[in-house]
Amino acid sequence: MINGLTMDDYPLSPTAVVERAERFHTDKDVVSRRPDGSITRTTLGACAHRARKLATALTDLGVSEGDKVATLLWNQAEHLEMYFAVPAMGAIVHTLNPRLHADELTFIVGDAQDRIIVVDESLLEVFDSFRLTHHFDHVIVVTHNRPAPAGMLDYENIIRDAEPIQWPRIDERQAGAMCYTSGTTGRPKGVVYSHRSLVLHSMAAALPDALGVSTQDTLLPVVPMFHVNAWGLPYAAALLGARLVLPGSKLDAVSVLDLIETEKVTMSAGVPTVWMTMLDALDAEPNRWDLSLLDRLIVGGAAAPRSLLEGYDRHGLTVVQAWGMTETSPMGAVSRLPADLENCDEKTKYEFRTRQGIAMPFFDIRARNEDGEFIVWDDNAMGELEVRGPWVASGYHNDTGADNFTEDGWFRTGDIVRIDSRGCIRICDRSKDLVKSGGEWISSVDLENHLMAHPAVAEAAVIAVPDERWGERPLAVLVLRTGMTADTVQLREHLSTEFARWQLPERFEFVSTIPRTATGKFKKRDLRDQFTA
């Protein structure tokens, strides 16, 4: 007790979230689509109750406080049960991305020292690709069609006869979850989330100016639950009592649109690629789906081009941009149009909505230029964004990557940004993707966004290529839409409405696909290897 303080020392923990789901939101649906396309239904209450049985089963299998339990699962009710059970019992749920290369998965499970893994039957092949490289005490399989392979346990079997535990009281600064960075540079690095960070992040994400989650909502996270806490949506749903629709492995546009319609989804969240393909489907068949209950689509993980927002506006659907990273849990900023811009012209509105947004409460931001000076918030000066807050990492697992943090403990994001007077962030580039030509910076992101606004362009990635005269010059790699054409002259003309002459790329390379990381980001390193050889 400090200064005669008389407040309860109640821990901020997913335990409270799980208990709330079981007590207050018992009957709220949790809908899962299985790999075969079938739908199963359960409730938040049932998942929370089963989590208490799962915790007993995991304890019986030797899991104790601080142990890592890995998941290789889709967005499905069992994954939610793992989100519930593992932190609340005092262990650490470590979500693995099945789209990573076997070598990366090998590194990650070894680095984390995962003791047990829970695998969906449909992901056993992925598991086979790295299982022999690491010793798991137990492998638990969520089965659908066939029994668990010999030597592995069946998820339902271990839960069936287990007694539901009473959750222990846990220090809110204890670790509860873990996720690895996508590792576009160097080895993936582990981020370990505290109980406190997990729930503060989800509560802040639920605020009206962020994702605005309420008991009226039905959430469909297209963003995978193996990807940075699924942007906080599972805990937000359980805390606020929103319905949860978990789309499993089938994330093609038609499947997602069908699910949004039939399950009366009010909010969905995913990376730009998902919404781009979905927009194509909507443009092709604008009257096929009744999406009248769909209130907002959250886009994050990569910058959304204006054309994406415009496209959805045509269908009466609102896309809201959010920004974050593995190191920030991930939600850091959301781009909601401020009240005073509501009556602005379209250009100003889109200009704002394509920004990364305003930092959430308790999420501190600043940016530093090359000379290490803090930039002014004038929407002009550029610098690397540094952040801190209750759900921001202050280091990595096993003490790697210390140079990603400043001496005073802020996380260096690697994003080069401008910040306007109201604190709205605009990412100009990744520090390593910025093009420096003749001593001036050219933003590859700005070029990409404007190229993607061209009707013939499906995808665009801009990289820096060495240039004898200018140091670096931008090079554009393009995927054209089927049946459409555009040449260098047309594309330069298109860009010249927004960019100075010296900023225009000289080289345009036309390809059939642009390589992407497991989390959907352009693999610019690969492009550089290919086009700067």
Contacts (CB under 8 A) with a copy of itself, residues 104-163: none
Contacts (CB under 8 A) with a copy of itself, residues 211-230: 212-216
Q: Binding residues for a copy of itself, how many (CB under 8 A)?
A: 72
CB 229 within 8 A of CB 198: yes
Interface with a copy of itself, residue 209, by CB under 8 A: yes
Nearer to a copy of itself, 266 or 449 (CB): 266
Interface with a copy of itself, residue 407, by CB under 8 A: no
- Read off the amino acid at residue 255: S
**DSSP calls for 241-255:** T-EEEE-TT---HHH
Q: Which of 60, 101, 147, 207 touches a copy of itself (CB under 8 A)?
A: 207
Beta-bridged to residue 366, according to DSSP, are 386
Which region, judged by CB under 8 A, interacts with a copy of itself, from 168-176, 300-308, 442-450, 515-523? Answer: 168-176
Nearer to a copy of itself, 87 or 270 (CB): 87
Which region, judged by CB under 8 A, interacts with a copy of itself, from 22-30, 54-62, 295-303, 491-499? Answer: 22-30
Interface with a copy of itself, residue 174, by CB under 8 A: yes
CB 70 within 8 A of CB 94: yes
Asked about 74 being catalytic, the answer comes back as: no
Which region, judged by CB under 8 A, interacts with a copy of itself, from 248-256, 417-425, 440-448, 503-511? Answer: 417-425
CB 182 within 8 A of CB 209: no
Asked about 318 being catalytic, the answer comes back as: no
3-state secondary structure 29-80: EEEEECCCCCEEEEEHHHHHHHHHHHHHHHHHCCCCCCCEEEEECCCCHHHH
Interface with a copy of itself, residue 9, by CB under 8 A: yes
Pairing relationship of beta strands 116-120 and 68-72 according to DSSP bridges? parallel
E-assigned strands of 122-217? 138-142, 153-154, 175-180, 190-194
Interface with a copy of itself, residue 285, by CB under 8 A: no
Supply the minimum distance, in Å, between the C-beta of residue 96 and a copy of itself: 18
The DSSP 8-state label assigned to residue 240 in this structure reads: H
Interface with a copy of itself, residue 193, by CB under 8 A: yes
Angle at 168 between CA 5 and CA 231, to 5 degrees: 85
Contacts (CB under 8 A) with a copy of itself, residues 56-85: 65-66
At 442, list the tokens.
């050219």
Which region, judged by CB under 8 A, interacts with a copy of itself, from 11-19, 80-88, 343-351, 497-505? Answer: 11-19
Nearer to a copy of itself, 289 or 411 (CB): 411
Catalytic residue among 250, 273, 400, 441: 441
**Closest by CA position to 86, among listed 197, 9, 165:** 165
Which region, judged by CB under 8 A, interacts with a copy of itself, from 6-14, 146-154, 310-318, 503-511? Answer: 6-14
**Distance (Å, whole) CA 115 – CA 148:** 19
Supply the minimum distance, in Å, between the C-beta of residue 371 and a copy of itself: 22
Interface with a copy of itself, residue 6, by CB under 8 A: yes
Q: Which of 54, 96, 119, 191 touches a copy of itself (CB under 8 A)?
A: 191
What's the sign of the alpha-carbon dihedral 298, 189, 130, 155?
A: negative
Number of neighbouring beta carbons within 10 Å of residue 390: 16
Asked about 391 being catalytic, the answer comes back as: no
**Distance (Å, whole) CA 467 – CA 3:** 64
Q: Which of 287, 421, 482, 513 touches a copy of itself (CB under 8 A)?
A: 421
Q: Which of 397, 426, 454, 473 touches a copy of itself (CB under 8 A)?
A: 397
Interface with a copy of itself, residue 89, by CB under 8 A: no
CB 47 within 8 A of CB 78: no
Supply the minimum distance, in Å, between the C-beta of residue 286 and a copy of itself: 28
Asked about 441 being catalytic, the answer comes back as: yes
Contacts (CB under 8 A) with a copy of itself, residues 458-497: none
Nearer to a copy of itself, 82 or 179 (CB): 179
The DSSP 8-state label assigned to residue 391 in this structure reads: T
**Closest by CA position to 439, among listed 412, 410, 471:** 471
**Distance (Å, whole) CA 94 – CA 319:** 30
Q: Which of 47, 57, 148, 204 touches a copy of itself (CB under 8 A)?
A: 204
Number of neighbouring beta carbons within 10 Å of residue 435: 24
State the helix-helix crossing angle for 195-205 and 233-240, rounded to 10 degrees. Answer: 70
Which region, judged by CB under 8 A, interacts with a copy of itself, from 191-199, 459-467, 468-476, 490-498? Answer: 191-199
Interface with a copy of itself, residue 92, by CB under 8 A: yes
Catalytic residue among 346, 348, 436, 493: 436
CB 90 within 8 A of CB 96: no
Nearer to a copy of itself, 133 or 394 (CB): 394
Query: Residue 273: is it exposed, middle or buried by C-beta count within 10 angstroms (0-12/13-18/19+)?
Result: middle
Q: Which of 18, 58, 192, 434 touches a copy of itself (CB under 8 A)?
A: 192
Interface with a copy of itself, residue 358, by CB under 8 A: yes
Residues with active-site annotation: 181, 327, 436, 441
